[in-house]
Structure 1
Amino acid sequence: MSDKMIENNQVTIIGEIASEFRFSHEVFGEGFYTVEVLVRRLSNSEDKIPLMVSERLVDVDQDYRGEFIYVTGQFRSYNRHEETKNRLVLSVFVRELTFVEEEIDASKTNQIILEGFLCKLPVYRKTPLGREIADLLLAVNRPYGKSDYIPCICWGRNARYASGFPVGQHVQLIGRIQSRNYVKKLSETETETRTAYEVSVSKLDCLEND
């Protein structure tokens, strides 16, 4: 993998393991497992972030709930087919994993750097209290012609700035991965609470398109 492909998607997270490892899939004899970590915000609320971890990085048969880990990797997506629709599933693909004694300053526990291209027009709006928000969908290239599609949300001046971006705009951003719960209507009488993941953007820059 080229250094450029690694640099355009960098995640660093420190958090508390909140689940057991669950088998996801196998590639060329290497098993991959999902696990959730709780990452504290400055407000002391928490984001529950899913990790995708190779069995070669950690003993996936052990229960590490309550322990803290430091991970680096990439934020990745894939489409999971559900009935008649595809659902975008996001997780942090872990490259390095280290157990740490305790959680450190919350301002340093969750950072992501992305470089990619807008694949749809930004959706700009204001909250009832007048706060400006813009939703972006960023395509981040991976080797072998693959891309990850990462939902991002901008606030305030960044939202106003991003609202005028065209499809295909080349951007670089710094932010944090956050989780939020929402209610999905399955039928007239049935609903389900799901968790969505997105990047909350703190810094946004336009780059020249190649």
Structure 2
Amino acid sequence: MMTDKIFENNQVTIAGEVESLFQYSHDVFGEGFYILDVRVNRLSTSNDTIPLMVSERLVDINEDLRGKNIEITGQFRSYNRHEENRNRLMLSVFVRELVVCDEEYVSQKPNYIFLDGYICKQPIYRKTPLGREIADLLLAVNRPYGKSDYIPCICWGRNARYAEKFQIGGHIQIWGRIQSREYQKKLDESEVERRVAYEVSVSKLEYLGDE
């Protein structure tokens, strides 16, 4: 099955506590999709809030799940939202299965992602003021019917040095976790807006060659 093969190249498992009500996003052929925010704890004391895209046909979107623990499987997807004469890349986890868990339940993969895709922008290697090595990648991951998702990924340390050499069109596989990061967007001279970016923090990557 082609679709099964495609779904294998973008796999996500998320487990955490629901932080929001279902918020309407959009319709596709009469099927409503809703955003649900889930807080996922990191190994450190911090956490990530990750937006899930959920179909009204999968769960009762009128139910208040706030404070409940859920585990989902799905895919990390992107779409362009048109804002003030420019497109903004929006990211969320498209949910294929959702389970409400007991309070005692401990997930084996609370924040797991695997992607198989292609470099679509020259990697950017840099060092933080504290000397930490980072490389930013943009990965195009194929979807059925000729579509692709564009996923920002961030590599650290020796993985960053390795990724710096990748060329556009290079085929790679990565394993990691989804993280949220707040930043400030300057709208004009006097106005600054707080926004949240989502990206994949890479723990392992493999270069499969140039296409």
Whether TM-score is above 0.5 comes out as yes
Counterpart of 1:20, as a letter, is L
Could you list the runs of 5+ residues in structure 2 that have no partner in the other structure? none
Query: What are the superposed Cα offsets for residues 128-177 of structure 1, whole Å, 9 maximum, x if unpaired?
Result: 22111000000000011100000000000100000000001100000000
Match of 2:70 in 1: 69
Contact kept? 2:119, 2:137, Cα under 8 Å:
yes
User: Structure 2 matches for 1:1-210, cutoff 5 A?
Assistant: 2-102=3-103, 108-209=109-210
Q: Which runs of 4+ in 1 moved over 6 A?
A: none
CA distance in 1, matches of 2:138, 2:126: 15
CA distance in 2, matches of 1:103, 1:191: 42
CA distance in 1, matches of 2:82, 2:166: 30
Contact kept? 2:22, 2:62, Cα under 8 Å:
yes
| Residues 62 and 198 of structure 1, relative CA distance in 2, 3 Å threshold | same
| Residues 207 and 104 of structure 1, relative CA distance in 2, 3 Å threshold | farther
Contact kept? 2:114, 2:174, Cα under 8 Å:
yes
Aligned residues: 210
Could you list the runs of 5+ residues in structure 1 that have no partner in the other structure? none
Secondary structure of the residue aligned to 2:180 is strand
Secondary structure of the residue aligned to 2:167 is coil
Q: Calculate the TM-score normalised by the size of structure 1.
A: 0.96
Which shows bigger deviation, 15-24 or 98-107?
98-107
Secondary structure of the residue aligned to 2:185 is strand
Q: Calculate the TM-score normalised by the size of structure 2.
A: 0.96
| Residues 157 and 8 of structure 1, relative CA distance in 2, 3 Å threshold | same
Deviation at 1:38, TM superposition (A): 0.2
Deviation at 1:102, TM superposition (A): 2.6
Deviation at 1:6, TM superposition (A): 0.5
> Percent identity at matched positions?
69
Deviation at 1:44, TM superposition (A): 2.5
Contact kept? 1:170, 1:209, Cα under 8 Å:
yes
Counterpart of 1:40, as a letter, is N
